[in-house]
Amino acid sequence: QASTGDLPAKSHVDDLIADAHARYAGLSDGVVADYIPILAEAEPSWFGLTLVGINGSTHSAGDADITFSIQSISKAFVFALVCEEVGHAAIHDRIGVNNTGLPFNSVMAVELNGGNPMNSMVNAGAIATTALMPGRTIAAKWENIRNGLSRFAGRALEMDDTVYESEMLTNQRNKAIARLLQSYKRLDPDPLDIVDIYTRQCALSVTATDLAIMGSTLANGGVNPITGEQVVSAWASRDTLALLASCGLYERSGEWLFEVGLPAKSGVSGGIVAVAPGKGALGAFSPPLDSAGNSIRGQRACAYLSRSLGLNLFASS
């Protein structure tokens, strides 16, 4: 049997993915997000898992092909693209790389830190990061984001108009955060234009398999393991993973790292991408969330697979 990077043999990985799905499919904890009205229509039983190795081998179980809006997981990949453009030092100085310890849409996090957006994985920092995306016009910035995330996925990603429209009617808080950043001179372009693009990036439709391919691109030094395209450099992938380790699951990032030991990013529609550098990535999708906004089945399945596949970064053997 050929092995997948440092992963066990293919048939064994297939069995473990199927096991992870069977173990947690019956969990009934958690609540489907409803602060974006359309998300409340998701079926709580949906549960998909995919692992993609850096050699392109793909292993799936359950609803791995159901599409959902990427939501906050877009923050990880927009960050990688912007990091590549502006560089390591500018990210450190202009956005920041520390966890806020507060919910993803916290206004207090910005206020308590003198207008500093803190990190690109919470809404304030993500809005500031989207503003740094290259493009002379708003339309050009948006196209660069859609193209960039599509290169990570290895296919042309489309925006779900219904999700975009639903969120635009209810995103007063993100507009307020953008105005607050503007008041601190932390946002140069028009704040409402940037919130519009940010909302579009969150409404891109993906599957659990797309997430695994996108994550595996970061695991593979920025080279998409399916298309072979170098999407970002190895150093931008490294910097993205460092940020995901400290901030990817919001104020629960410490607990996640303690249990799973992998850089990851979650989103309120129920997706999680977890990356094993030099090995591959897991994409998980299941809508019921914990109180911080992280998929419950997704967290449990990733913890199980990190243990059973020996992916924890902090394990010495």
Number of residues that bind ligand GLN (CB under 6 A): 11
Closest contact distance (angstroms) between CB of 234 and ligand GLN is 27
Enter the tokens of residue 147. Answer: 């193209």
Q: Which is nearer to ligand GLN, 30 or 225 (CB)?
A: 30
Q: Which is nearer to ligand GLN, 46 or 104 (CB)?
A: 104
Enter the tokens of residue 248. Answer: 């990817």
Closest contact distance (angstroms) between CB of 202 and ligand GLN is 4
Among 202, 241, 282, 303, interactor with ligand GLN by CB under 6 A? 202
Closest contact distance (angstroms) between CB of 105 and ligand GLN is 6
Closest contact distance (angstroms) between CB of 147 and ligand GLN is 20
Q: Is 260 labelled as part of a ligand binding site? A: no
Could you tell me the CA-to-CA distances from 43 to 3, 31, 34, 62 in Å, in that order? 35, 11, 12, 14
Q: Is 224 labelled as part of a ligand binding site? A: no
Q: Which is nearer to ligand GLN, 49 or 249 (CB)?
A: 249
Q: Binding of ligand GLN at residue 104 (CB under 6 A)?
A: yes
Q: Is 72 labelled as part of a ligand binding site? A: yes
Q: Binding of ligand GLN at residue 174 (CB under 6 A)?
A: yes
Q: Which is nearer to ligand GLN, 47 or 104 (CB)?
A: 104
Q: Binding of ligand GLN at residue 71 (CB under 6 A)?
A: yes
Q: Binding of ligand GLN at residue 216 (CB under 6 A)?
A: no
Q: Is 250 labelled as part of a ligand binding site? A: yes
Q: Is 171 labelled as part of a ligand binding site? A: no
Could you tell me the CA-to-CA distances from 222 to 10, 69, 152 in Å, in that order? 23, 23, 8
Closest-approach residue to ligand GLN (CB): 72
Neighbours of 114 (CB within 10 A): 8
The angle subtended at Cα 130 by Cα 124 and Cα 134, nearest 5°, is 155
Residue 39 sits at φ, ψ, to 5 deg, of -65, -25
C-beta separation of 84 from 232 below 8 A:
yes
Interaction mask 152-171, ligand GLN, x per CB under 6 A = ---------------x----
Residue ranges of the alpha helices (H) in 87-183?
88-94, 108-112, 123-131, 138-153, 161-170, 172-183
Closest contact distance (angstroms) between CB of 33 and ligand GLN is 8
Distance CA 251, CA 95 (A): 18
Closest contact distance (angstroms) between CB of 170 and ligand GLN is 9
**Going edge to edge, which strands form the sheet with 280-285?**
58-62, 48-53, 280-285, 271-276, 264-266
- Residue 15's SS3 state is helix
Instruction: Give residues 231-270 in contact with ligand GLN (rule: CB under 6 A).
Output: 267-268
Query: What sign for the dihedral angle of Cα 34, 39, 42, 44?
Result: negative
Q: Binding of ligand GLN at residue 294 (CB under 6 A)?
A: no
Q: Binding of ligand GLN at residue 123 (CB under 6 A)?
A: yes
Q: Fill in the DSSP letter of residue 41.
A: G
**What is the CA 240 to chain-centroid distance, rounded?**
11
Annotated binding-site positions: 72, 123, 167, 174, 198, 250, 268
Annotated binding-site positions for substrate: 72, 123, 167, 174, 198, 250, 268
Q: Which residues bind ligand GLN (CB under 6 A)?
A: 71-72, 104-105, 123, 167, 174, 202, 267-268, 293
